Structure 1
Amino acid sequence: MAGLLGDEVTLTWEPVAVEAATTRYFYEVHLTGADGVVEKHSVAAPNRWHCDYVDTLQLSPCGWVRWCSAAGEHYDEPLRTDYEQLFESVMEAVTGSEWPGEQPFFEELNLRVVLPGRDASLPYAEEHISLAEGLHEDLYFSLLEYFQHRAGLSLGDRSGQPGQIVPEILTRPDASPSAIVTLQCLHVSSVPASPDVSLDRADRPLSESQISALLEALGQRTLRSLTRSGRPVVARYRPGSDRAVLISAAQHANETSGIVGALRAAAELDELAHAHFVISPLENPDGYHLRQRLAVEQPRHMHHAARYTAFGNDLQAQPLASGFEHTIRERAIECSDAGLHVNLHGYPAHEWTRPLTGYVPRGFEMWTIPKGFFLIVRYREGWQQQAQRLLEAVIQDLANIPELVAFNQRQIVTFEAHAGELDFPIMHNIPYLLMQDDAQLTPLMLITEYPDETVYDEAFILAHEAQRATVISAYTHYQRLEPT
């Protein structure tokens, strides 16, 4: 809303006390004109209390009906909409089924839902109103939580391996609502590929074939592992006399700008005589294949079902020496002795909601509204000073990109209008976090977070330029750090 109103209107939010017995909720809207006159409006915000599928009490948006019969009977209560019934029918089909005693429970759990409606674009950034995207998010994360709960894991535990959960939400305005839940084999057939694009001006995510071709031209030695479906996870090692750096992207495969940024930066470094690095631009090929597959139907959705591997886990949560995707990082560090890992990430470029489970995405509350490009530096014990110096140097370089600074300023202002002051330190308009992590494979890890999910065209170009610039800056300044 702050973005829609623009700079000329000041937006503030204040909590309003309500009685515990309240059955209907409202926003109280106070509009103050330039002449000081205040208009007051009441906007209905129907919500209902309910328990979700992991027995947690939620207050969620819902339908509502209010009417009076000819006999004078009054009704003022929640209405189970078709939308809620679709969600509940899918959840009950899954939770009411019998599953094996050990993980993974399936290869692909496919949820094919037909939703009579279409998305509505909003005239601000990448925002839109999308019940379809909301349903994808709620089905995916609700089922992920259900299987975590079933496996005895805490909610949000990224090590669970239920299998690949795939909500396919089809928007068909003239169709009847329907849902079909099936168990399928892992998807290994090819997805229609978009034409190759110029890497420096790529205005959309790259095809899997173009990523492979670009990677093949880099470095000298191939490192290889396999995913659950049998797809190769490939990295290239370029030995040199510099201190080695591991560059990776697509740990979460729906975060696509890092792939382009990593390949661009590696091509630039590959031209240097003393360069020493490992480039792993597509760490999660199964997830990326799913992202490309889902984007054929819904190109501007976040597709968090493609976030994790085909096991259903975060590859970083895979145990050491267990094979599969994480093996590439282990082999990269073994052959190069890399002391810095530049790990390129993204996050939603527009508001992220779970409308049927409390609205704000559980476990990801800080990511629900974009807040610009920011950095996270993690370090092992004894490396704090080097981490601080590296962070300051990289931010100073990024502050010399005017388009990036202006982008961050806009996003932070909009974020703070809704969520209050940003709870991150900020340096030169770049938010950051600095934290110790003794469990990581390298002494230093620099993580980027760009709001890239769903963006295209010039917005996507700026995203991968920020990723590229971060890699080059981090590589350069890492060479100058004093060792511990």
Structure 2
Amino acid sequence: MALPEVILQRQFRATIEWLAEQTRPFKAWVFADQVTRRRVEYQLKQKGIEARIYSAYKPLVHYFLEDAPLDDSIERIRITYPAHPSDRKSKRFLLEAFPLAGLLEKYQIEFRSKTTADNFYEVMFFSRNGDVQVERVFAPNKFQQDHTNEYIFSPCGWIQFSEQEQFALKCDVHRLFEQLIGHLQSWTWPEQEPYFDRLKVHVDVPFADLKLKWGEEHISFIEALHEDIYFSLIEFFNVYSGREADSRELQPGQIVPEVCYHDGPWQLQVTLEPYQAIEFPAEKALSADALAQVSEPLTPNKITATLTQLTQDLEGQSLDGMSRRGLNVPASLFEGTHPGVVITGAQHANETTGTCALLRALPILRKEYPVALGCIPMHNPEGANLYHQLRRDNPLHMLHAARYTALGNDIQSQSDEQNFEKALRNKIVAATGAKLHLNLHGYPSHEWTRPFSGYSPRGFELWAIPKGFFLIMRHQPGKADAARAFLEAITQDLSQFEALVSYNQRQLKCYRAHAGTLPFELINGFACDVSERENLHVEFELVTEYPDETSIGADFRLGHQTQFEFIRAAFAHLDIVNQT
């Protein structure tokens, strides 16, 4: 086995340390948590220097957390957000204010857009006695050319000594990001994919996470950096390969951003190393009662053990697929007298509630429905292996580096000739004669940002903030009426699940405040997207999307209960799709 090769190692002085050396009053905006910023302000004050240091990341949200005059005298708040300089219709600065509509829900809150692109929010506080207080909150941004040669408008550092003397700062994290991308651009990569087994980018960041008092939201610069590094490198290697930056067919190898909190200097180490899955301890199968109470993502061995036991108890047939890197893809087949159904979970391994729901539902489905059934609860074992590695340091982060296989591609983009995860699904579809594929997915349970690539996650803008549980129906030509009838019946059943309805309503209210009109139609109160696909592998593919990246505790239990209720509802109305 080849030894790891360190190809880049750097340490970066924190920008806030430079601020601590200033000898005259100033205001500054940097990427640092509140504790660190207040400590440096205090140090400067001890030397007789007045300074105020703000967060350059989500500055308006930090303003409301740290400085806003909020008390019981305030009745309503109006926030006017600046225009994007190159797209006046963009809601970029409104999105950056997320989740204020949730955090401030005790007040009457109103958002308005303005036509000027001056990087200032204007906030008006209306008191019950008629007083009005107006504040301006600066959100420093600037245009810069990125690794795809696009000019993007992204958050930046800033220092102001006076109205006449102020300028953007190239902060610690900008230097780190610039050197990382620059070094990889200058490195000699192979001409053929994959370019490496594993490319690990370890970053130590002195910026602690901050839990917010709304939903599963938190401010995590560590998570944002993980996301931006991962997808920036995917984009870079897409361009290197001659593809479009957003292609999902790339197979570069496994990219692993390992971003951790560290109370010290910013540190970067990039390593090329052989792929090696970690060995998890052996685990026993979970009972039905234990599965119903699961409050965090199941480990790969627990999934495999539980599926093996269920398959044996329910007189099914175990199938073992194989991933590109040799990991087992556990699957099961069950005979039936009616047209088949295939259920898969965790195609994207950081989307975890569907797996638990599938295992919970399996005994009930076998007892109540005489259909041929195939199931793959952990469709992406390589991603699952990495996901549980990364969860050790950051269990509440979405960890999109675990989304794809160890080759760095989506299972769905695998060619039919490759005998890996997708081939196993196709084999099960053929064996069951399935008309229907229930494809259990998830998406981020809190805001997803890429602060150095224009703020919103490029190519995934639709998924930037949670909008509750929703469904995506894909169908073959000529099946539109049945597809819609199926959705109508399922969502009618789900509308009786009060905990889910309440959860959806709360998330949709905040979504609309920050993102505007929902881009999907509502069917019985649930967002649904319906589309026709000519080359679909089954007549109907119904994809669930529950915001479960990354839930734990009661939120996780609501997630797998929702996916469980969905499976039950889908099977209760199989006659709609089977009659076509």
TM, length-normalised to structure 2: 0.79
- 2:110 corresponds to which residue? 12
Q: Find 1:262's aligned residue among 344, 358, 369.
A: 358
Is the CA contact (8 Å cut-off) linking 2:476 and 2:539 kept in structure 1? Answer: yes
Higher mean C-alpha deviation, range 190-199 or range 159-168: 190-199
Offset of residue 343 of structure 1: 0.1
Provide Cα deviations, 1:114-161, integer angstroms capped at 9, x if missing partner: 111311111111111111001000000000011111112122211111
Offset of residue 416 of structure 1: 0.6
2:243 aligned with 1:153, yes or no?
yes
- 1:209 corresponds to which residue? 301
Distance 1:437 1:155 in 2: 24
Q: CA distance change for structure 1 residues 444 and 148 in 2, over 3 Å: closer, same or farther? A: same
2:209 aligned with 1:119, yes or no?
yes
Q: Find 1:84's aligned residue among 145, 164, 174.
A: 174
Q: CA distance change for structure 1 residues 60 and 427 in 2, over 3 Å: closer, same or farther? A: same
Is the CA contact (8 Å cut-off) linking 2:277 and 2:386 kept in structure 1? Answer: no
Q: Find 1:229's aligned residue among 325, 330, 344.
A: 325
Aligned to 1:12, what secondary structure does the other structure show? strand
2:122 aligned with 1:28, yes or no?
yes
Distance 1:187 1:298 in 2: 20
2:149 aligned with 1:50, yes or no?
no
Provide Cα deviations, 1:95-132, integer angstroms capped at 9, x if missing partner: 22111111111111000111113111111111111110
Distance 1:256 1:203 in 2: 11
Q: How much identity, in percent, do the aligned residues show?
A: 39
Offset of residue 470 of structure 1: 1.0
Is the CA contact (8 Å cut-off) linking 1:249 and 1:344 kept in structure 2? Answer: yes
- 2:187 corresponds to which residue? 97
Distance 2:358 2:178 in 1: 41
Offset of residue 74 of structure 1: 5.0
- 2:24 corresponds to which residue? none
- 2:154 corresponds to which residue? 60
- 2:486 corresponds to which residue? 390
Distance 2:229 2:488 in 1: 41
Distance 1:203 1:362 in 2: 31
Aligned to 1:353, what secondary structure does the other structure show? coil
Is the CA contact (8 Å cut-off) linking 1:65 and 1:76 kept in structure 2? Answer: yes
2:101 aligned with 1:2, yes or no?
yes
Aligned to 2:110, what secondary structure does the other structure show? coil
Offset of residue 328 of structure 1: 1.2
Aligned to 1:255, what secondary structure does the other structure show? coil
Aligned to 2:337, what secondary structure does the other structure show? coil
Match for 2:498: what amino acid? P
Match for 2:332: what amino acid? R
Distance 2:196 2:577 in 1: 47
How many pairs does the alignment contain?
A: 474
2:540 aligned with 1:444, yes or no?
yes
Is the CA contact (8 Å cut-off) linking 1:235 and 1:281 kept in structure 2? Answer: yes
Offset of residue 397 of structure 1: 0.9
Is the CA contact (8 Å cut-off) linking 1:218 and 1:238 kept in structure 2? Answer: no
Aligned to 2:310, what secondary structure does the other structure show? coil
2:135 aligned with 1:38, yes or no?
no
Q: Find 1:373's aligned residue among 455, 459, 469.
A: 469
- 1:357 corresponds to which residue? 453
Distance 1:265 1:365 in 2: 32
Offset of residue 14 of structure 1: 2.3
Aligned to 2:383, what secondary structure does the other structure show? helix
CA RMSD of aligned residues (A): 1.7
Q: Find 1:402's aligned residue among 493, 498, 504.
A: 498
Is the CA contact (8 Å cut-off) linking 1:249 and 1:282 kept in structure 2? Answer: yes
Distance 1:97 1:36 in 2: 63
Q: CA distance change for structure 1 residues 191 and 354 in 2, over 3 Å: closer, same or farther? A: farther
Distance 1:358 1:483 in 2: 48
Match for 1:153: what amino acid? R
Higher mean C-alpha deviation, range 35-44 or range 385-394: 35-44
Offset of residue 13 of structure 1: 2.4
Offset of residue 215 of structure 1: 1.0
Aligned to 1:359, what secondary structure does the other structure show? coil
Aligned to 1:102, what secondary structure does the other structure show? coil
Higher mean C-alpha deviation, range 190-199 or range 148-157: 190-199
- 1:429 corresponds to which residue? 525
Which structure would you say has the larger Rg?
2
Aligned to 1:246, what secondary structure does the other structure show? strand
Distance 1:148 1:75 in 2: 41
2:390 aligned with 1:298, yes or no?
no
Is the CA contact (8 Å cut-off) linking 2:342 and 2:429 kept in structure 1? Answer: yes
2:279 aligned with 1:181, yes or no?
no
2:224 aligned with 1:134, yes or no?
yes
Provide Cα deviations, 1:423-447, integer angstroms capped at 9, x if missing partner: 2211222111111112220000110
- 1:163 corresponds to which residue? 253
Find runs of 4+ consecutive structure 1 residues off by over 4 angstroms.
Answer: 191-197
Distance 2:471 2:397 in 1: 24
TM, length-normalised to structure 1: 0.94
Is the CA contact (8 Å cut-off) linking 1:315 and 1:325 kept in structure 2? Answer: yes
Unaligned runs of 5+ in 1: none
Distance 2:126 2:334 in 1: 62
Offset of residue 196 of structure 1: 7.4
Q: CA distance change for structure 1 residues 178 and 191 in 2, over 3 Å: closer, same or farther? A: farther
Offset of residue 330 of structure 1: 0.9
Distance 1:37 1:372 in 2: 37
Distance 1:128 1:37 in 2: 32
Is the CA contact (8 Å cut-off) linking 2:278 and 2:389 kept in structure 1? Answer: no
- 2:87 corresponds to which residue? none
Offset of residue 298 of structure 1: 0.4
Is the CA contact (8 Å cut-off) linking 1:246 and 1:279 kept in structure 2? Answer: yes
Is the CA contact (8 Å cut-off) linking 1:218 and 1:270 kept in structure 2? Answer: no
Match for 1:111: what amino acid? V
2:197 aligned with 1:107, yes or no?
yes
Match for 1:10: what amino acid? Q
Is the CA contact (8 Å cut-off) linking 1:193 and 1:207 kept in structure 2? Answer: no
Is the CA contact (8 Å cut-off) linking 1:244 and 1:340 kept in structure 2? Answer: yes
Distance 2:536 2:509 in 1: 34
Q: CA distance change for structure 1 residues 270 and 441 in 2, over 3 Å: closer, same or farther? A: same
After the TM superposition, which residues 456-471 of structure 1 pair with which residues of structure 2 at under 5 Å, given as runs? Answer: 456-471=552-567
